[in-house]
Structure 1
């Protein structure tokens, strides 16, 4: 999608100054909390961030443990799919045992690779009837030998047109690694884990709703720097108060067993409300960490480190490159958080760069910037067509036809321009970060 490296670096440098300005303010507020703990320090270390961010959430009356009770795993999956159904004009049909027998007879027990795996048939819903689109699998619980990332999407099968004109349908798998319920206890999610599921289902929709002639160009088979854009757009729906409320449901309202489980642990307490309150929803949206300048600046750090090591000016530069030193010096240059260099460790501590699997041993080499620029394009589309009270159903169908359906069968720039009706603009991204004057 991106024509040359200079375009990427120019865009990242445009984002950098404003990000650093806001990140310094965020770091200062965390440093104040650190000082309030009677710790005499003028430095906020990178390992301080998570601890004092949790302290800040507590000060903002953001009770993570209580909030998790409104995000039981199966309820989140069901409610998330319901949101996608409304938005994209589709229907998910859970294949239970009786439906599996109807479809596969004596092979009904073998339609998935494990008894915990859920299978949904995906249907296109139109006024003149429904038509089949593909299969969506959910593998929700951790077990020995399974992929260990919290949430991930795998395109098990791409769609394509056979020589006789019929279609081979796509299949998607969403992997989550939650601990399986013990007795009647629920499997609960943090808000960030809910966001991850929303994001990965977005990848699934890109795979399932694409329609191309060749499998090589189907769905997420787009340029690496565009592949995150559709899912990042879907993420932003979760921060709409009405969507967050619709996805939430206190686990005690979802089954008799869960109700009894809650009552046994909360004797003589008032029964909780079914959905999150407006106050809590406001707190969640206000504390949306994905818009934290410190977090985005960390992504910028990864992107620039990735670009430095994968875009060397000369062979000699590459042979002399010290990966750890480059990583840590760039960290100090970008972020208002101190590291080991401030306690006598120099720039060879931590080896953090070797842990970033996405571009060190994954498929994002020289492409990690997609997580930043992908959100730039996603926010441009979201603000233009989905923010506020705009009709989601009509806008969703248009998004499906113009962004998801083409896959990689045409230039992603062409896809974006035709959908927006203009050149892509980073202004919405700057507003999202609080840089309203950019």
Structure 2
């Protein structure tokens, strides 16, 4: 028996972590014990006398490390969504230790020898398709970690992995510190000029949470700062807020990320060379659908050119609108959203203040659930009184069509200073069948501005789209139906993982969904048909801007990881030079500037891979066409294929094969260009 709740058996409902019993200090002991246990399990697998079989090696590895997985998932979900100084200190300490633990396993010669033997014998092992896929993933994972290198190479790979883990942790903590330290307090009527009631209400709530009751505070959460930039008529404050937002990670002092970036890029380049690749981009893309940097650049360039042309047309309209308002200044980055909102109002008779009363958070959650019910037959019921890590977290049981338990879904929707920015899906437990039917516990984390006490939380349409996007990821985890943890849910190629999420966004924009769930938060009246028509007609408004800010980030990410010698990189100069090469409009800033580009530098998940959203968008635009061609966005036959080959399949098969199995052919880029309003 142990007094450490992380190491005890969890008898809480659905085996949720016993959050109320967990103290930060528990993690230090739990990681130490769980890593030792996992090491012992790995050594037993590697050193056994029996000849390697799929069961005693691959399946054994899939069964091992259960305690460590449980502790790590609980810990990193907390450090992302509800952290504190004690957890951050542990995170800085544990990151290199976990990296060393991973390296020790993946560079274990005896263990790799068993995997390699099985790989050589794979045609004679009688494996089914899923077994074969898992063996293939293990073989590739060991090779890409450096298992085939000599002793000196292995030692250096281990050193690099540990240092990169430390750097990634520091990068993300620095960005969070810059975000949480900033608050724009609106003291006067001039400070609040132009702000609609919904933004003032959320700014008042943000102030109350920061001990400034009676005041109004704008934070660096997108749901706070973006509407401020849209509606504030105080241009000086717009500039102040925008500069704070875009200078995260490069303010000098302890939170400056530029040295971290240089060292990270240099270590990644060295790692790639050790493994026989010319640069990190080639290494990273070798295990994706895209395969090569040239393929990535080709896609991004094809979209970039029409996007820039459209953005310049949009900019001229903004300048004309500014001149019409008596403003003769050029359009700057902190002006774009402000005048864009005015142009949208003029061209489409549509503004955010009209839409937002119809986009209640609770209703959009129900819209996402209802869409899943109509597509896949699953249902949701909210459960109260279960252990959660913050009072704002909501828990829903997910039920199969026959009413049996499918999994748990946690929704954590509101911004707070203890949460990193952005939105994401994660899991406390993945679905698999190695120990009976293990059901998933999936969480969506958002950063929406909370409504005033007692008032509904209202979303922008972009917020609503984000919710549908992350719920698409959530369904990828909840609907998973595979045997092995390695390929469960989102365990797929990085440039395939965004397909289920981006595809799911399409249903939000359908009249069939909006007409049912977009109802006024006070009157409960449905969104007027005329307003709904205006919303849908404006779907591609400002698309040049949106495409340019994203694609610029993706191109810069690629170029950073093609550098031969990044150790001497001047981050600001590089960013300026590369944006100049691609003719970046001066009035648009990258969606994620390099010093706070967490997708790329808080770990290497999207490093040389930020293009993945667009790669997947080629598929999602084409995939939704399968429903449109049937004349029914909930067509049962198409939905069944979508479930079988995409949402439930995890990484069971090659992603290209999975897409073709669903669609009957490879995707066409024309659908993407049409979706974004560009000529094919």
User: Considering the TM-score relative to the shorter chain, is it more than 0.5?
Assistant: yes
Structure 1 residues 63 and 158, CA, compared in 2 at 3 Å: closer, same or farther? same
Cα distance in 2 for partners of 1:111, 1:375 equals: 37
Secondary structure of the residue aligned to 1:160 is coil
Structure 1 residues 397 and 427, CA, compared in 2 at 3 Å: closer, same or farther? same
- Partner of residue 352, structure 1: 593
Which of 362, 374, 379 is residue 91 of structure 1 equivalent to? 379
Cα distance in 1 for partners of 2:587, 2:547 equals: 18
- Partner of residue 243, structure 1: 513
Cα distance in 2 for partners of 1:330, 1:193 equals: 31
Q: Does 1:319 align with 2:567?
A: yes
Stretches of structure 2 that go unaligned for 5 or more consecutive residues are 1-288
Cα distance in 1 for partners of 2:538, 2:640 equals: 31
Which of 57, 61, 71 is residue 344 of structure 2 equivalent to? 57
- Contact 1:291/1:433, CA 8 A, preserved across alignment: no
- Partner of residue 399, structure 2: 123
- Partner of residue 264, structure 1: none
Residues 392-411 of structure 1 mapped to structure 2, 5 A cutoff: 392-394=634-636, 395-411=638-654
Cα distance in 1 for partners of 2:487, 2:470 equals: 20
- Partner of residue 276, structure 1: 527
Q: Does 1:205 align with 2:481?
A: no
Cα distance in 2 for partners of 1:365, 1:61 equals: 41
Structure 1's consecutive aligned runs of 4 or more residues displaced over 6 angstroms after TM superposition are: none
Cα distance in 2 for partners of 1:229, 1:29 equals: 33
- Contact 1:46/1:337, CA 8 A, preserved across alignment: no
Moved more, 203-212 or 50-59: 50-59
Cα distance in 2 for partners of 1:124, 1:393 equals: 19
Which of 620, 625, 638 is residue 378 of structure 1 equivalent to? 620
Residues 27-42 of structure 1 mapped to structure 2, 5 A cutoff: 27-40=315-328
Q: What displacement does 1:34 show?
A: 2.3
Residues 73-112 of structure 1 mapped to structure 2, 5 A cutoff: 73-96=361-384, 109-112=385-388
- Partner of residue 462, structure 2: 192
Q: What displacement does 1:306 show?
A: 0.2
Q: What displacement does 1:38 show?
A: 3.1
Cα distance in 1 for partners of 2:333, 2:540 equals: 16
Structure 1 residues 19 and 150, CA, compared in 2 at 3 Å: closer, same or farther? closer
- Partner of residue 262, structure 1: none
TM-score (norm 1): 0.81
Q: What displacement does 1:136 show?
A: 0.5
Q: Does 1:133 align with 2:420?
A: no
Deviation track 1:145-203 (CA, whole Å, cap 9, x = no partner) reads 3x24353221221111125xx21111111223445554532221111111111111111
Cα distance in 1 for partners of 2:350, 2:581 equals: 32
Q: What displacement does 1:81 show?
A: 0.9
Secondary structure of the residue aligned to 2:666 is coil
Secondary structure of the residue aligned to 2:358 is coil
How many aligned positions are there? 389
Q: Does 1:66 align with 2:354?
A: yes
Cα distance in 1 for partners of 2:643, 2:300 equals: 29
Secondary structure of the residue aligned to 2:522 is helix
Deviation track 1:384-426 (CA, whole Å, cap 9, x = no partner) reads 3346832514122221111111111211111112212112211
Cα distance in 2 for partners of 1:406, 1:113 equals: 30
Cα distance in 2 for partners of 1:378, 1:68 equals: 27
Quick check: which one's strand share is greater?
Answer: 1
- Partner of residue 421, structure 2: 149
Q: Looking at both structures, which has the greater relative contact order when contacts are Cα pairs under 8 Å and sequence separation is at least 6?
A: 1
Quick check: which one's helix share is greater?
Answer: 2
Secondary structure of the residue aligned to 2:609 is coil
Stretches of structure 1 that go unaligned for 5 or more consecutive residues are 97-108, 255-273, 342-349
Q: What displacement does 1:290 show?
A: 8.3
Q: What displacement does 1:330 show?
A: 3.1
Structure 1 residues 352 and 139, CA, compared in 2 at 3 Å: closer, same or farther? closer
- Contact 1:174/1:200, CA 8 A, preserved across alignment: yes
